[in-house]
Amino acid sequence: MNQKKVLFHLFLFLSISVFAQQNITIAQPNGCGSDNYLQILRKDAAFSANELNMNKQIRLFNASNEIIRQRTNATNNNGKTTYSVSPITGIISIPVVVHIIKSNPESVTDQMVIDGIKELNDAFAHQGSYSSDPLGVNTGIQFCLAKTAPDGSLTNGIDRISSYYENIDVDLESGVLATLSQWDPAYYANIWLVSGIKGEIPPTIFECGSWQRVGYGGYASAGGGLVVSSLSGPLVAHEMGHFLSLLHTFQGQNCANADCTLDGDLVCDTPPDRSTKSSPCNSPENSCNTDTISGPFKKDVPDNISNFMDYGSPCPSVFTQGQSDRMHAFINLFNGGSLLNSNRCNLPCTDAILAKFDWYANPHPMIGDVVSFNNSSTGASSYKWYVNGVLMANTPSFNYTVSSVGTYIVKLVAYNTSGNCTSSYTGNVLVDCGVVARFSPDKRIIASESGIYKDPVLFQNTSYGATNYQWFVSDKTGATFSNAGNTKDLLYDFLQPGTYKIKLVASNGSCVSNSNTYTLTVLDPKPDGALSVYQVSCYKTDSIRIVFGINNTGYDTLHAGAIVSFYDKFPGAVNPQKLNNSFVLPNDILGKCGAVFTQIVGVSKPKQDSITLIFDEANVINELIESNNTVFKQKFQFRISATPADTIVFTNSTLPLLLINNSLDPISSIIWSPNIGLSCNTCANPTLNVTDTVLMKVLANSSFNCTDSAYSYIKVFPIDISLDSTSIVCFNNDSLLVTVKVCLANGYKRLKKKIEIEYFNNDFNLVPAIKLGSIFIDSNTVFSNGCVVVPAYIKMTLTPNVFVAINTSLAQFETNTSNNSKLTKYTPFKLIAQPTDYDAYRGENLPITIINQGDAYKNIIWTPSEGLSCTNCLSTIINTKINRNYKIWGINKFYCTDSTYVNISTYYRSHLALPTVFTPNGDGLNDYFYVIAGKEVVSVNKFQIFNRWGQKVFESNNSKPNEYISGWDGYYKGKIAENGTYIYYILITLLDGTIEEVKGNITLFR
Ligand SMILES: [Zn+2]
């Protein structure tokens, strides 16, 4: 079991190992009671109105003076905008009178007072032992022990009163000092130096079984005066700050800084501060983060703990420029600037005389006493004594009989020899019947109740001159007093909480004195166990681990043995089940204190996710509050989740996975599965190389050995096969070579199943189609860059289309088949002569080009080769004198062939070109005589040849021109005709239908 004692006021963080301790005790044993004193003064409406008005005027005064300051852009180390401040043109001197209120006031010498004022001046000038902190400024305000008394004569600014009021009770007697001695506060700063101030600076706080009570070092009010228990420089500087209107730097204790002239201490260059606690000089606390909301701070800075107006600093040494400004404004405004212009720091005359007297021999005279005034003046040659303003004597010493109750104002005026310089000293002689009832409680707030926790208060009797005492204590409502005893001091037990009034009657014979009445608050001291749950965790699957605190918010001790019970449901649920392992408080917990525990309890069912803690279920403890004994917590089970929970990605992509811990318990181990493609299977954030749809499971263990799992469902986009391009060529005359590009989308590089590519002569979706062939792509085929090129040889088709379809059986699952087929037109390999028949002039060039359709030819051959410029070209030039027929044969690179023909007919350019000689000697040249004609000659109707004897040796009818076989071969009746001249007669039909007759001679020559 783990118990840590913590202060009740702590903030408790969820992590049980971290506790921030904030002790509220004020380190300085003697604090400043000005705030409490102001609360007392503010009960007077006129005082409050004056205070508000003064603050308003100071604000306006400082705002009008702001224009003489020039802001600079500089920001100093403290994050503060710096000002160029007008140099101090003159030192303001405030006259001070020190009233030493002691039973032996001579124990404080003049030199001690002078030294105290020097310390005060060093503090205000930021010099001497106060000069080192750069945050401080010379305020330009100094203090002098008054040299001019209220009546205008010489004084040293010190008076001494022997009085039992050297210890005053701030709650009961705060007003009494002014009745002992006070100089006009309009012209003097009155400092009352006493031996001790009894009281507690509120708020008094109870912590871990005891009260933290802070005593008084001093108190002051603006323009009123200062009460101090010593002449310590920082203490007097602090209270003098209050006298000159400064507030504590932590004023309000709320960090408010909406307007630095209206919030906190009303001073802008002291950072917002809510803390009264002490922190090291070199490591100041930063209690507020509101610094930059208004005012000169450009960044959040620590509290100015070294400020005279802060508490508890071991190194008080700073008034800031803003505080200086506020004090200057106050001095200018207070009572019309009377302090500023009082001139009481100046010597009214220069003679070394000083009036002084005392009545220490009988400092508290009764009616009828003769009071002897002891003249201890120096430098004087004559004196005058006054009582209540009436001249009573001019002797060095003076006796006076006091005849009635009251205050006698006795004044001594001492004269120099010339009489033009005087010094005066005044004393208030308080006369009564000889008894003053006084007391002072040792505690200002308690918690007490009969049978629970008794905290008796000692009322210390500080009465003067009494022989009999009677104490009266009211009931708990303060309404009815009853006799509480007649001992000197009263030790009183308050048996019920309430608001009590206490008073003392002191007497000596017929002289009776009534004390002021003290009001005491008595709080209910009952203990109170308040539960707080800091952490609940699943523990080893079958238990729950609970870190909880028991805070005693009451005053009395919570004793060991108190029980915390655990239930599985919220209070009021049906059938809550009590869990094993109730907690038993092992040690006492003092009032306003707390402790943190860890308890492990068994679960009522697996993954139980709610728990109720009940403190003191049996109600055996009498608590202040019962309603804070039950705490319900739920949703603390160890739970994880995984992201992405459900996603779809491309295959072969990389996906980051993330385990998310939805509980506060740390994770001790992680396992992802299946462990395929993971960068790390024991990390919270592995990456996964996704190859296929997978359900990833992650299993985690908490640091307390509980398990949870989560899933990440990762799907991949399915394969999408597409047909990208198709080329078709003729192959070997009976086949086609079809090449297709098949691609895989969505990141795939392989098929999972083999697929078929099918080839048809038409789109089978539209018309009946004949399958021309098929081929398979294997599942181990690698699609580099996502694609593969597949050639296939299929049957020749006569349709000019090939329809390719892939994966028609969906052997490989895919969702998009719209891109799985393609209809491609193709053109067969073909050679075409267009036209096939040509007319050519004999011996002239005729260019002819053969058209190559479909695949490009690889080789082409013209036969016969005669008369051709090129025999293996698509384009050639023909030059022939006779009619010819050419065959053109070609082949593509895949052995498909085709051929075509051209017919060339030759002609002469004129009608007839008949020779004059022919030589039929069988040499192949000019062996026939025939009709050579231009192409406009359509036919030779009649061709007759006669010899010189008129015999017809040859005749042909209706032949074609330009055909030698239709001509005469030189034979007549089977014999070679004799050489000689022959006559021919030709009848021809022309293209236009006209008939022409031609006659001529030809010589046969052999
Ligand atoms: Zn103070």
DSSP β-bridge partners for residue 16 = none
| Ligand 1 midpoint to CA 579 (Å) | 55
Q: How far is the CA of 137 from the centre of ligand 1 (A)?
A: 20
Q: What is the pLDDT of residue 83?
A: 56
Residue 335 Cα to ligand 1 midpoint, Å, equals 22
Q: Can you read off the two tokens belonging to residue 384?
A: 């005058």
- 443 CA → ligand 1 middle, Å: 21
* CA 145–ligand 1 middle distance (angstroms): 22
> How many Cβ atoms are within 10 Å of 965's Cβ, its own excluded?
10
pLDDT score of 616 = 95
Query: How far apart are the CA of 57 and the centre of ligand 1, in A?
Result: 22
**Alpha carbon separation from 692 to 505, 648, 679 (Å, rounded):** 100, 10, 16
Ligand 1 geometric centre to CA of 215 (Å): 12
Tokens linked to 655: 């996906």
As given in the structure block, the two tokens for residue 365 are 């005279």
Measure 717 CA to ligand 1 centroid, in angstroms.
77
Q: What is the pLDDT of residue 21?
A: 26
**From the first residue on, what is the mean pLDDT of each consecutive set of 10 residues in the chain (1006 residues)?**
34 26 33 78 84 86 62 52 58 95 96 97 96 92 96 96 95 91 95 94 88 89 92 94 94 92 92 88 91 90 93 86 92 88 89 95 94 96 96 95 95 90 95 95 95 93 96 97 96 96 96 96 95 94 94 94 94 87 94 94 90 94 91 94 94 94 94 96 95 94 95 93 88 91 89 93 90 92 91 88 92 90 90 90 87 92 92 92 90 92 82 83 84 86 91 91 87 88 91 86 88
Q: Ligand 1 center to residue 157 CA distance, Å?
A: 24
Say how many Å lie between the CA of residue 35 and the centre of ligand 1. 7
214 Cα to the center of ligand 1, angstroms: 13
Cβ atoms of 252 and 266 closer than 8 Å: no
- State in Å: Cα 280 to ligand 1 middle: 20
Distance 328 CA to ligand 1 centre (A): 19
Task: Identify the burial level of 605 via C-beta atoms within 10 angstroms of its C-beta, where 0-12 means exposed, 13-18 middle and 19 or more buried.
Answer: exposed
CB 298 within 8 A of CB 80: yes
Residue 969 sits at the vertex; the CA angle it makes with 963 and 974, to the nearest 5 degrees, is 140
- What pLDDT score was predicted for residue 976? 87
Q: How far is the centre of ligand 1, averaged over its atoms, from the C-alpha of 910 (Å)?
A: 145
Per-residue DSSP letter, 676: S
Ligand 1 centroid to Cα of residue 220, in Å, is 7
Distance, CA 10 to ligand 1 centroid (Å)?
Answer: 26
Q: Are 326 and 58 spatial neighbours (Cβ–Cβ below 8 Å)?
A: yes
Q: How far is the CA of 428 from the centre of ligand 1 (A)?
A: 29
Interval between CA 235 and ligand 1 midpoint (Å): 9
> Measured in angstroms, how far is the CA atom of residue 210 from the centroid of ligand 1?
25
Q: What is the C-alpha separation between 576 and 566, in angstroms, rounded?
A: 10
Measured in Å, residue 241 CA sits from the centre of ligand 1 at 8
Residue at token pair 């080192």: 132
Which DSSP category does 118 fall into? Answer: H
Residue 668: strand, helix, or coil: strand
Q: How far apart are CA 249 and CA 242, in angstroms?
A: 11
Burial of 421 (0-12, 13-18, 19+ CB in 10 A): buried
Three-class SS state of 365: coil
Give 31 Cα–ligand 1 centroid separation in angstroms.
7
Ligand 1 centroid distance, CA of 203 (Å): 14
CA of 238 to the centre of ligand 1 (A): 6
Do β-strands 980-990 and 511-514 pair in parallel, antiparallel, or remain unpaired?
unpaired
Residues 154, 353 contacting (CB under 8 angstroms): yes
* Residues with Cβ within 8 Å of residue 385, at least 6 apart in sequence: 373, 391, 392, 393, 394, 395, 398, 410, 411, 412
Which amino acid does the sequence have at 50? N
CA of 109 to the centre of ligand 1 (A): 26
Spacing, Cα 976 to ligand 1 middle (Å): 168
For residue 829, the CA-to-ligand 1 centroid distance in Å is 115
d(CA 868, CA 951): 45
The CA distance from 92 to 710, in Å, is 78
| Cα-to-centroid distance, 133 and ligand 1 (Å) | 20
Cα(231) to ligand 1 centroid in Å equals: 15
Question: How far is ligand 1, taken at its centre, from the CA of residue 308, in Å?
Answer: 9
Distance 557 CA to ligand 1 centre (A): 35
SS3 assignment, position 749: coil
Q: Which helix (H) or strand (E) holds 177?
A: helix 176-180
pLDDT of residue 119: 96
Calculate the alpha carbon distances from 404 to 181, 366, 408, 409, 429 in Å.
Answer: 20, 8, 10, 13, 11
**Cα–ligand 1 centroid distance for 309 (angstroms):** 6
CA of 247 to the centre of ligand 1 (A): 7
Burial of 74 from C-beta contacts in 10 A (0-12 / 13-18 / 19+)? exposed
Distance CA 193, CA 220 (A): 12
Asked if 426 contacts 409 with a C-beta cutoff of 8 angstroms, the reply is: yes
Distance 188 CA to ligand 1 centre (A): 20
What pLDDT, on a 0 to 100 scale, did the predictor assign at position 25?
28
Q: Tell how far the Cα of 248 is from the centroid of ligand 1, in angstroms.
A: 6
Give the distance (Å) from ligand 1 centre to CA of residue 663: 50
102 CA to centre of ligand 1 in angstroms: 23
CA of 218 to the centre of ligand 1 (A): 8
Q: Please tell me the pTM assigned to this model.
A: 0.66
Using the mean position of ligand 1's atoms as its centre, give its distance from the Cα of residue 25 in Å.
16
For residue 485, give every residue at least 6 positions away whose Cβ sits within 8 Å of its Cβ, in sequence order, or none: 470, 471
SS3 content of the chain, % helix, strand, coil (to 5): 10, 40, 50
**What pLDDT does 688 receive?**
96
